Amino acid sequence: MLGIWAIVALVLVAVGPWVLPTYMVNGLIRAFLYAAVALTVDLLWGYTGILTFGQSAFFGIGAYAVGLMFTHVGFGPGYATMAFIGAVVGAMLVAAIVGWLAFYHGASPLYGSVVTLVLPIVVSQILYSGGNFTGSSSGLSGFESFDISIETWFWIAGTFLVLLTALAWLFVHSDAGKVLVAIRENEQRCEYVGIDVSRVKILLMVVCAGVAAVAGYMFAGVQMVVAPEYAGFVFGTELLIWVALGGRGSLIGPVLGTLVLDVSTSYLSGNLPFVWKLIIGVAFVVVIVALPQGLMPLITGFVRRLMGRGGAARSEPAPMLAAVEEEPFAGLQGAGSQALALAGVRKNFGSLVVLDGIDFVAGRGELLSLVGPNGAGKTTLMRCIADGGERSGGSVRVNDHDIERLPPYACVGFGVGRKFQNANVFDSLSVAEALRIARSRLERPSLLRRADTLLLPEAALQVIRATGLDRDLQREVRHLSHGEKQALELAMVLALEPSVLLLDEPTAGLTKSERTLIGGILVDLARNHRLCILLVEHDLDFVREISSRVIVMHQGRIVLDGTVEAVVDSELVRTIYAGGMTPRSGAVA
């Protein structure tokens, strides 16, 4: 399918210069290059959710590499190559710095956008202040450039755009491409399945910067003029407008949107200079408010209806399920004897102490239940084990590795798997895709293909088979029931092959039979797979049935730690659950 479309597009590019008027050929060359940059904006914003104002800066860097080299140094094949390398490497370096600044662990999406907004302002101001070297506000022009006819430029730029789009298409439909969507949908869950989100974002930014710089390089080569505006913030927002109107997250939409809008602008802005820009502005606002997915879905929907293919059902076949050879301690240097060891763990928000001096050790094969009233600090304790940045003091060791201040994805690397209290999944991915995202830490996903088998550890398979999810692998997660989402998240966590499993009320909202089922699986994981399971649970009957040990927490401290019989029937637990354990009434009780 992709091959046919790409060939059609290449044929169109090939015949273009012969049938189109010269003015249009010129305009399209520019539009092809803008579209290439818009494509990178779509990858960053439409697919990954990074609202970027800064791709214009990389385009400008590519263009100025040409302008500066050909104006000040000289023109020739050697210089052209040097300028090319300078453009790409320079843009990528800048992108790496910007990415490091914008996507540090825990950065808000707004901060990322702030940085991408600062970038083009800084780059264009530097160009303005460059005096004769950068040509200041008038830029550089009249430099000698490639002796290539306008038709050939059309073919070069058109082929570049078609190949780039095809490559991007393969990428976003590959297993690795789904990681981008997963990050957009739920960055937190990505961190907790072991994906270093910051690194993925920075890498993507670097690659997109390189592509934008190549487009800028060609732009300067064909236009023989560069100006600070091409690196500026306003051009950066114009790219966003093209992508938004075409349809973010659809690749073809932004490309067509850019081609149509840029070419029609060059025709219409002569006749209706201000009205045209006003129309674009109005269309942009209307699309953002009323049609967030842009105009592309309207067109594809219309085409589908014409061709009689209805529905949004996914047409690809479901992947085959298979069990994988488990390697629980893969990548760890020695697992030590204790699965989990906490010493003096403390957490406070300002003067409010939520956890105070938590010490305990848990071994493999233990199924340890954490009980206590709301606000006792159970969930906070889970957080402190799964994210090194959470606790205020004390130490946490997982499989004999100190988690220090490391972010969640690194804790996953030590063997932690955390299931959240509310089903925390990826709404717009399919069940199979979500499971594959959870496997991506252990099996590097392909950048161009989607695998046709889905390898999962036995326990994860057991969960999805028992809950019937194996028949729904192609279903979008948003359409699952609450119980199915809970089961999917559990399966995703098990797919990580964790050795320390943190479960926060895994049975909340489940039916009695589902609860029994999950209980059975947990007991099996602890007994036969020797997992250390830490369970937060309010249902004391459930706790009694499956636990091997119970820890009672109250007001941020451990008040009891022992076997099921000793703890569940104790007077203390009853008082706490009856709400009488405050210092004053405690004496009465």
Partner 1 sequence: MATLLDIVTTAAILFAVGAGLLIVFGVMKIINFAHGGFLTVGGYSALAVTRLGWNPWFSLAFAFVIGSVCGMIIERLVVRPLYARPLDAILATWGLGIIIGQLITLAFGREVQFVQSPVSGAVELLGSSYSEYRLLLVGIAVILALVLGAVLNATRLGLVTRAVIMNENLARGLGINSGLVRFATFSLGAGLASLAGALITPLSSVDPNMGVPWLVNAFMLVMVSGVSLVSLGVACLVLGGAQVLVSSWGNPILGGLTIVVLAALVLRFRPQGFARD
Residue 422, token pair as written in the block: 């509310």
Nearest distance in Å: CB 57, partner 1: 13
Q: Please, are residues 253 and 287 in contact by the beta-carbon 8 Å criterion?
A: no
**The binder of partner 1 chosen from 6, 10, 20, 122 (CB under 8 A):** 122
Residue number with CB closer to partner 1 (40 or 499): 40
Give the per-residue SS3 of 101-122.
HHCCCCCCHHHHHHHHHHHHHH
Alpha-carbon gap, residue 308 to 296, rounded angstroms? 18
CB of 138 to partner 1, least distance (A): 15
Nearest in space to 41 (alpha carbons), one of 182, 192, 215, 174: 215
Please report whether residue 125 would count as binding partner 1 according to CB under 8 A.
Answer: yes
**Does residue 274 bind partner 1 (CB under 8 A)?**
yes
Does 289 engage in binding with partner 1 (CB under 8 A)?
A: yes
Report 230-249 residues binding partner 1 (CB under 8 A): 233-234, 237, 240-241, 244
| Rounded least distance, CB 123 to partner 1, Å | 10
- Write each residue from 518 to 557 as x if it is in contact with partner 1 (CB under 8 A), else as -, in one continuous string: ----------------------------------------
* Whole-angstrom distance, CA of residue 141 vs CA of residue 532: 68
Q: Which of positions 128-147 make contact with partner 1 (CB under 8 A)?
A: 128-129
Among 12, 85, 163, 282, binds partner 1 (CB under 8 A): 282
Write down the least CB distance from residue 128 to partner 1, Å. Answer: 6
Number of Cβ within 10 Å of residue 64's Cβ equals 32
H runs (alpha helix) in 20-76: 22-41, 55-68
The span from the CA of 561 to the CA of 198, in Å, is 39
Nearer to partner 1, 117 or 263 (CB): 117
**Taking a C-beta distance cutoff of 8 angstroms, is the pair 245, 283 a contact?**
yes
Q: How near is the Cβ of 278 to partner 1 at its closest, in Å?
A: 4
Q: Are 493 and 425 in contact (CB under 8 A)?
A: no
Which residues inside 334-353 make contact with partner 1, applying CB under 8 A? 350
Q: Which is nearer to partner 1, 31 or 102 (CB)?
A: 102
Among positions 84-103, residues that touch partner 1 (CB under 8 A) are 101
Taking CB under 8 A as the rule, does residue 26 contact partner 1? no
CB of residue 279 to partner 1, shortest distance in Å = 9
Cα 140 to Cα 154: distance, rounded to the nearest angstrom: 23
The set of long-range contacts for 105-108, using a CB threshold of 8 Å and a minimum separation of 24, is 105/197, 105/198, 105/389, 105/407, 106/389, 106/407, 107/198
Number of H helices, E strands in the chain: 24, 14
Catalog residues that contact partner 1 under the rule CB under 8 A: 49, 51, 101, 104, 106-111, 113-115, 117-118, 121-122, 125, 128-129, 233-234, 237, 240-241, 244, 274-275, 277-278, 280-282, 284-285, 288-290, 292, 350
